[in-house]
Amino acid sequence: MKLFTKNMIILLFVVLLAVVPLFVAKDAEFGGADGEASEAITELNADYTPWFESFWEPPSGEIESLLFALQAAIGSGFVFYYIGLSKGKHSLSKRD
């Protein structure tokens, strides 16, 4: 089996893993873990007080989403830069 065919099969499985849950669980809420964690903590200990508070709250949920997406983009930029650098070094060492 060719490498391209294997990669396309893997890509198809990844897309299916991302899309199928959206159709299987139509009425499910896909919320974040922060809300679930705070609910679990208050169920275990109703007198719990946090150690500290956030020093800045984003003005809206859109700004919070923007900052999260920006953080993810910068992180993936670093990861893929390193992967490209390693691949380039490897191909240069093969050529020599």
- Name the pTM for this structure: 0.51
Per the listing, tokens 């956030």 go with 54
Q: Give the model confidence (pLDDT) of 79-91 as tens digits.
A: 999 999 999 999 8
User: Could you give the 3-state DSSP secondary structure of residue 17?
Assistant: helix
Q: Give the model confidence (pLDDT) of 38-50 as tens digits.
A: 888 989 988 888 8
Both tokens assigned to 91: 């191909």
Per-residue DSSP letter, 10: H
Residue-by-residue DSSP string for 22-43: HHHSTT-----HHHHHHHHHHH
Please tell me the distance from the alpha carbon of residue 8 to that of residue 39, in angstroms, as a whole number: 41
Helix (H) or strand (E) holding 76: helix 61-95
Q: Give the model confidence (pLDDT) of 12-40 as tens digits.
A: 999 999 899 888 888 877 677 777 888 88
Distance of CA 85 to the CA centre of its chain: 23
